[in-house]
Every structure is written in C-alpha cells, then in structure tokens.
Structure 1
Amino acid sequence: MSQARVLSLVGLAVFAVAAVAYAQTTVTPIPDKEPVQTAPLNAGPQSKWGDVKAGATKAGTCAACHGLDGNPTDPQYPRLAGQSERYIAHQIALFKSGERNTGMSAAMKPFADALSEQDARDLGAYFATQKSGAGVADDTVIATGPNKDKKFYQVGEDLFRRGDKARGIPACMACHGPGGAGNPGPAYPHLAGQQAAYSQRRLEEYRAGTTTQRDPHLFNVMAGVAKQLTDEEIGSLASYLQGLHERADDIAAAGAPAPAAKPAAAPAPAQPAAPAEAPKPAAAPAAPAKG
C-alpha cells in the first residue's frame, strides 16, 4: 500500500472521529410549543375577571347571612371576606350545578341559581377585597386522652403548622399558607378567622369522603388529609383556625392611640342643702353565690 493511500485512509478516519465527536457535543433545540392557553376557573364564553364595584352592588343579596362585607354575625354561616375570586366563583358553580349538596347547600342553591357566571366572578372579586375578621380559639385545658394537659386549640395548631408525619398528614399551612390566607392560584381557600362551626362541618364532610363533584380532585386532596383525623383533632383545628389572624392586627391594635378624654363637665350650680334625714337601718348582707 502506498504512503499516499495510507495517509488518505488515516485522514478519513480522523474526519469520521471528528464528525462523531461534533455530533455528540452539538445540541439541537426542540422546536418551541405553542404558548399554553389559560382560562379562568369555570369561566364560560361570556365570563371575564370580576368587577369589584359590580360585586359590591350584588353583595347586598348575600348580606343577610354572610354580612355585607363577608363577615357574618351568625356563626353557622361562613366568612367570605378575604376569600379569593376563583374560590368563591368555583363554590357558587358547585352550588348551582348541585354538585355541592351537603350541609346548608339547600339554602345556597336558590341564590346560586339566580347568578350568572359573571355575577359569581363579580361577587368573588368584591369579597376578595374585604378584610376577614377572626374569632377566639378555645384555650380550655384537655383533661384526658392522648392530648392531656394541652390547650384545646394547640392540637389543631400542631396539625396546621407541622402535620403528622407518622400518619402521612401534611401541614395545613403547606397549601393554605402560614397565616391561613390561602392560595388564589389553585383556589385553596382562605382559612384564617373562619367560623369554627363551619370549618368543623366541612372537615367532617371531607373525612366522610363522599362527593358528587364531576371533577373531585380538590375534594380528594382534602379527603385524603381528613380521613385520619379524630373528632377531637377536627374540633381543635376548627377552633384554632377561628382564632387565626394576621400578627399585624395585634400590632395595629397595640399601637392605636387611646381615645381622647372627654372634657370635664362644668360644675353644677350650688343647691341649697336638703334637710337631714334620719339614719336608715343597715342592709342585710348578700347571700353567697351558689354553684
């Protein structure tokens, strides 16, 4: 074999090796996909994001039960103040379709039936701008059982903040936020300050694990958490949530200026002294209070 032929073969081999090496180090980008089309939750063709002013007008219908600003005075009705627009619109849609049919759903359905998708959006937008109130958590000391000597609300506080790893229960704050403000993206509700009676009822419904929702994935998330909770844990968690509120509220209350003192009243004109009366007999001592 001639030297020239050998050199040509060597050159071809080097070229082949170089081509393979280049192919292995060259990245061929995948063509970009079309942008994802997003749409509001439960939005029909005529629905758009809610209008706060329109919602404020429509909220008059809700005031009898939920309060004009979404903070009811009757503990059997849930707080709507601070809930996200998407969550409220979603729940109204479930009431309207009959997919949410437990608890006081029968009372809600006639109102939901009268609302359009846009009405639901407007109401949600309005209540999302309102500030949620809060109640008081039960700090009674537990006398017996596995949580003996804990304050009642502390059982729920532990579950909210830490969950229970041994039972596979995640911390509630992982989805609902450390202050219970919820997450408007996936429509996880605002829990801080929620009425204890309402939260307890909903947790019991989740624990039962029965739903007629056509798309139950959000329900199933909560059902998986609640199925292992005891009655005491559900009651305690509901109580803790009722008292949960932003720390800023305490700071604002502590820094609030004291009410101005009322001006002293002008002294009354002197009156002529009344004639002295005969002394009255002393009153009999009060009876001690009976349990």
Structure 2
Amino acid sequence: MNRISVPFVKSLLVATLALAGAASAQQPAAAKPDVAKGGTLFESGDAARGIPACVACHGAGGNSTIAANPKLAAQFEAYTYKQLVDFTTPSRNNAIMSPIAKQLSDQEKKDIAAYLAKQQPKPGAAHDKNTVELGRNIYRGGIAAKGVAACASCHGPIGAGVPIQYPRLAGQNQDYSFAQLQAFKSGARKNSPQMTTLAQRMSDEEMKAVVDYIAGLK
C-alpha cells in the first residue's frame, strides 16, 4: 500500500485553504442597511413600481394610529426584516403585505427595517380596567393550568423583547395583537410554531385581556 507523505498532505491543505480564501475574496460584501433610503421608501413608497407609502397604514415614524395595523417604531431590525421576508412565503400570507413585500428587494427590506428600528415609539394605553389584572397575570405568570407560558419570559417584563428572537410588544395596538393571536390559533399565520401552540390554549377572553395589558406597557 502506498503511503501519502506528510509534506504532500500539508501542501494540499495549504492549497485548498488558499483557494477557499480566494473564492471568499471574490464575493462582494453584503451592503449595510441604508436608513435614509429606508425612510424614503417608508414615507413615500415607490409609485413607479406600485409600492405604496408605508406611512399610510403604519403612521409617521411607524407609530400607527389605525387600531388594526401594527406599530413598528423601535421594533428590532432583524425581526422586521424577517417578517417582510415571511410575507413573501406561505408562512405569513397576507392580502395587503404579501404583494408589497414581493415588490421589495432584499436590500430594501433591510433598509426599511433599519429605519423603523431607529424611530421613537409613542406609548399606548390599556382601555379595559376590568381585565387589567387578568392581563397582567397572564403576561407575567402565564396560565399554568393550560400550559401557557408567561409572555414576559420571552418578551421581557416591560414588553421590550429580545433582539432577533422575540419582538418588542410594549404599546402595541390591541386590535392588531388580538388579530395575530387569532391568526396563530387558526393556523393562518404559520411563522412561529411556539406562538401557535400557546394561542391554541387561550380563550378569546384571555387573549383580549393580555393584549390590552400589553398596550399599556412602557
């Protein structure tokens, strides 16, 4: 049996690493998000491509005043980007957002997400004083009897979220949050198996109580 010499193996390894390095060097570096371009797209859209101004639905600086639409100001850049990508897939099909997201390039998605992450959020408020205690208990302690984890365990005690993993929830519009829990429960929204499981264990009353409490978090 012929033996391969150690010098030969070393030479082969060096050559392989050199080729790998050359290949990496030839690949262009990913462009950094452009906050200014993201702001222009968000505030003005792109009429030539049929992309409407995001501000019409999500409000100036991402502070939506339309109850059915989410507030996006100060949302984590990576989370917003992921949602825009998900809108282009069956995991989060939406009659309004999916066509828009499919029109945006990957870079534009990143630009818009970067712009929103830098905006100052305006506080929301809880509306139903009769359910505040129930909402607080669910958010902070979950529903042990149903196997529902505390929202705070992932989204933080004041709804600030955890970058990349879990979104900011503080001050979010009640109608929007309730609609998303319903979508997770029905399977219409499929991009978070964890949330689907939790939502399926909650009643409408429990959902309404916790989203109202979340709206008042600051």
TM bucket (normalised to shorter chain) is 0.7 to 0.9
Partner of 2:144: 165
Equivalent AA in structure 2 for residue 227 of structure 1: Q
Report deviation, 1:96: 2.1
- What's the TM-score, normalizing by structure 1? 0.59
In structure 1, stretches of 5+ residues that fail to align are 1-44, 141-150, 246-291
2:88 alignment partner, SS class: helix
In 2, Cα distance between equivalents of 1:47 and 1:62: 25
Higher relative contact order (CA 8 A, sep 6+): 2
Larger radius of gyration: 1
Asked if structure 2 preserves the Cα contact closer than 8 Å seen for 1:209 and 1:227, the reply is no
Query: 1:49, 1:80 → 2: CA distance?
Result: 20
- Structure 2: any 5+ residue segments left out of the alignment? 1-27, 44-52
1:102-121 to 2 correspondence within 5 Å?
105-121=94-110
- Distance in 2 (CA, whole Å) between partners of 1:153 and 1:110 is 37
- For the residue of structure 2 that corresponds to 1:69, the secondary structure is helix
Q: Give the aligned partner of residue 183 of structure 2.
A: 205
The number of residue pairs the alignment matches comes to 182
Residues 1:159 and 1:49: Cα distance change in structure 2 (over 3 Å): farther
Amino acid of the residue matched to residue 232 of structure 1?
E
Alpha carbons 1:160, 1:237 under 8 Å: kept: yes
1:51 equivalent to 2:40? Answer no
- Partner in structure 2 of residue 123 of structure 1: 112
Q: 2:204 aligns with which of 223, 231, 246?
A: 231
* In 1: Cα distance, 2:31 partner to 2:158 partner: 29
The residue type paired with residue 66 of structure 1 is H
RMSD across aligned positions (CA): 1.8
SS in 1 for 2:95: helix
Instruction: Indicate yes or no: 2:203 matched with 1:241.
Output: no
Residues 126-153 of structure 1, C-alpha deviation per residue, up to 9 Å, x if partnerless? 111112223221234xxxxxxxxxx212
Match of 1:75 in 2: 67
Q: Measure, in 1, the Cα distance between the counterparts of 2:174 and 2:152.
A: 17
Q: TM-score, normalised by structure 2?
A: 0.77
